[in-house]
Amino acid sequence: MRTLDILKEENEEVLERYELVRERVADIAAEQESTVASKYREYFQRVAEFAKLLTAAADKVQNKTLRKQSLEELQQMNQALYEDILPEHYENSYANPTYAVKKLGKTYGKLLSVVYSELRSMIPYAFEGRLFEVTVALELFVEIYNCFELEGEYTRKEVKEALYYYIHDYMADFKLHRTRDTQDPTYTFAEDIIMEADLEDLRYLYYFGEYISENELQLVTYLNQLPEETIHKMADTYTDGYVRGFKVMGVDFSKKTNINIRYVIGFERVLRRAIETFHAMNKKVTIPRFVMNLAHRSYGRKAGYFATSPNPQYEYDHKDDKGLYFDREIQKVILQAAKQAAEAYRLEYAAYAGPAVLEVFGEPDFVPVNKKEAVELSARAQKYSRELVQKQSLMMMEYLKQEETSFTIIAFPLPSIGADFEKIFDETIRVNTLDNASYVRMHQVLIDALDKGSYVHIIGKNGNKTDLKVQLHTLSEPDKQTNFENCTADVNIPAGEVFTSPQLKGTNGLLHVSQVFLNGLEYKNLQINFADGMTQEYRCDNFATEEENQKYIRDNILHHHDSLAMGEFAIGTNTIAYAMGRKFDIQAKLPILIAEKTGPHFAVGDTCYKMSEDHVVYNPDGKEIIARENEVLALRKQDIEKAYFNCHTDITIPYDEIGEIAVCLEDGSRLVLISDGRFVLAGAEGLNVGLEEI
């Protein structure tokens, strides 16, 4: 296990502390009598029992006995580590802030639930053999326990300060290690498992330390019975799309050596083929884990590898835990730590090519419950958080040139999508491998028509209230310029969209969709009004009160911004993907990657050209795509901190809710592209092929 060799010095430095805190945790779990008040005793003993399971796993990794365990033993260990947060146990778990507050009171319940959640986030670190992270988290638990032993003397301030300084004092280490995970190709924990394990021996799944459900087990079993030719087809679509993305963007791929792979556990057979292909190109890979510890916790798209969630409500409950400690000083500490880590890995950042992402869809439906006991970000913390994202993004421009990188994203279904999983999987392979050349030709017909107009008018039907005008940029040289990118299966697989960055002034009206899933969260009757391209009013029907619905949108779509720009307007053209959704009744489960190709979509936030607006991009016909910025992005020339929102959320209207999409010309005439959910423009009728299959 090469990872332990890499971590040897780091682990030796903390080994004595680890052994001491492990013993102390075992003592807490075994104590028959305690000076801790009875109200809190059960919490500390139950969390200490979990910590014993954590250290037992860490010890098996350190003494190299983990991989000698039988499948049954590994499954029992995995179940024991995760069972407390599984839905059937979560109502009585201290990881559940509602239960914690009920048992421990308002003063400490919320805070102690967060501490337990931080310990739980150490499970994957234990399996990687990373004693530093495990040790400092256990020390935090013991420090807080000691506060409660001093009956009558402890205060909430002291307990909260322990959590605050845990983040404050160790942030430099956390950031350095996370940067190593994402940028250092010699850190090969996941790569070693993918490339060296017997992928027909299901024990390998448990080496990652993630929760392994029936999804992962069924997925691996299914992939293992597919012929090598099919695996190669899946992997080669993924790697070819990645390389093609550099060609389309006009970026020199030869100058980059490090590719960042993000995927979902269970696809190792596909990843092995992809990694072999990248290695044959003389490229190296980094495969970082998606991490959930407090220092890096985020909610939404998961950047890294992961398994399907043991409990989405648990993740939702703890998404804003940083509200307990986040202030201006912590913001400063994080920025300093990020800067130091970037300096340490400056050469690796220079070699970074960009992410190659394999996503999944078909997770069980999840409608979150908003809990008053969960931590919320105050208005001030929201402000500091937005500032941090902005400042960190700008700081990274020195080390990571966006215009020199590219990416690709592809998606496949999970067994949890239902009884038709295998049929849906086969159909997804078909959707992902459509002929690019034919789409380029038909897209060009649409683009030629769109470039004649001053704005596009989108009208809904079948109860869809959309009535929206999207203003286009003026083409000063129409024979050399275009507003829309001809997008096929390169960076966003599958093929099927033409998109632009709208002019904000003149972009007005209502966007409505009856049901949509965005970053795993469902929105019912989502409505957003735009005034000169900026979100104005918004609502949905998820919760009983308007206040809850607006907060839900502001937190998870607007990402705490007062207003966002329409950063993208696109027409999805992949009716085959749409037909797949209708045929198997999985429209609501399709990932945004596929869903955005099944109708027009509108992104709120930054444009697709964020931080590379000045990089000239051409379509296959040789025309320059000039719509790479809008009025907000133009502010970067005066004050760059006002130019970016650092978010981008696509919202798609399906074909069956589209009455008409028409290009409106200066003379008042209209060119209709889509009518009653079908492409009607001469030369683009072939895009209806999927609709004809329904």
CA–CA gap between residue 303 and residue 322 (Å, rounded): 19
Is residue 184 included in any domain, yes or no? no
**Digit-coded pLDDT (tens) for 307-346:** 999 999 999 999 999 999 999 999 999 999 999 999 999 9
Centre a 10 Å sphere on the Cβ of residue 418 and count the other Cβ atoms it contains. 15
Q: Report, as an integer, the average pLDDT of 544-550.
A: 95
Give the residue numbers spanning the domain of 660.
Answer: 453-693
Q: How far apart are alpha carbons 57 and 44 in whole angstroms?
A: 20
Q: Which H/E stretch holds residue 536?
A: strand 534-539
Q: Is 644 exposed, middle or buried (0-12, 13-18, 19+ CB in 10 A)?
A: buried
Distance CA 648, CA 394 (A): 17
The CA angle 590-287-274, to the nearest 5 degrees, is: 70
Q: Which residue, 140, 174, 208, sits at the end of a domain?
A: 174
What are the CA-CA distances from residue 613 to residues 476, 609, 663 (Å)?
Answer: 18, 5, 25
- Residue 631 CA to residue 503 CA, distance in Å, equals 7
In which residue are the tokens 């129409």 written? Answer: 478
Q: Answer yes or no: is 151 within a domain.
A: yes
pLDDT band for position 1 (cuts 50, 70, 90): low
Please state the rounded mean pLDDT for residues 214-218. Answer: 97
Does position 33 have pLDDT exceeding 80, yes or no? no
Q: Which helix (H) or strand (E) holds 515?
A: strand 503-518
Q: Read off the pLDDT of residues 581-628 as tens digits, 9 standing for 90 and up.
A: 999 999 888 998 899 999 999 999 999 999 889 889 999 999 999 999
Query: How far is it, in rounded angstroms, from Cα 586 to Cα 89?
Result: 29
Q: Is residue 489 a part of any domain in this protein?
A: yes
Tokens of residue 59, six digits:
């010890």
Q: Decide the pairing of beta strands 600-605 and 566-572.
A: antiparallel
Cβ atoms of 383 and 328 closer than 8 Å: no
Average pLDDT over residues 367-376: 94
Cis peptide before 87 (omega within 30 of 0): no
- Tens of pLDDT, residue by residue over 239-295, are 999 999 998 888 999 999 999 999 999 999 999 999 999 999 999 999 999 999 999
* Span 95-126, pLDDT tens digits: 999 999 999 999 899 999 999 999 999 999 99
Give domain status of residue 322, yes or no. no
Does the pLDDT of residue 34 top 80, yes or no? no
Confidence of residue 153 (pLDDT cuts 50, 70, 90): low
From first CA to last CA, the distance across the chain in angstroms is 51
Is 414 within the bounds of a domain? no
Question: What pLDDT score does 209 carry?
Answer: 98
How far apart CA 416 and CA 270 sit, in angstroms, is: 19
- Given a cut of 90, whether residue 644 has pLDDT beyond it is yes
Q: What is the pLDDT of residue 567?
A: 97
Of 660, 469, 663, 674, nearest in space to 575 by CA: 674
The confidence band for 631, taking pLDDT boundaries of 50, 70 and 90, is: very high
Question: How many domains does the chain fold into?
Answer: 2
User: By the 8 A CB rule, do 542 and 622 touch?
Assistant: no
Question: For residue 8, is pLDDT > 80?
Answer: yes
| Residue 328 φ/ψ, nearest 5 degrees | -60, -40
pLDDT at 212: 98
Residue 298 lies in a domain: no
Summary mean pLDDT of the chain: 95
Cβ neighbours, 10 Å, residue 32: 4
Contact 551, 558 (CB under 8 A): no
Say which range, 75-89, 121-135, 140-154, has the weakest mean pLDDT: 140-154
Average pLDDT over residues 476-489: 93
Q: Which of 124, 145, 174 is the last residue of a domain?
A: 174
563: in domain: yes
Q: What pLDDT band is residue 525 in, cutting at 50, 70 and 90?
A: very high
Residue 280 maps to a domain:
no
Domain closes at, from 174, 206, 241: 174
pLDDT at position 152: 60
For 484-504, the pLDDT digits (tens) are 999 877 788 999 999 999 999
Q: What is the pTM of this model?
A: 0.91
**pLDDT value of residue 520:** 79
Residue the block writes with tokens 């029936």: 214
Rounded Cα distance between 402 and 610, Å, is: 8
> Could you give the angle at which helices 109-120 and 38-62 cross, rounded to 10 degrees?
10
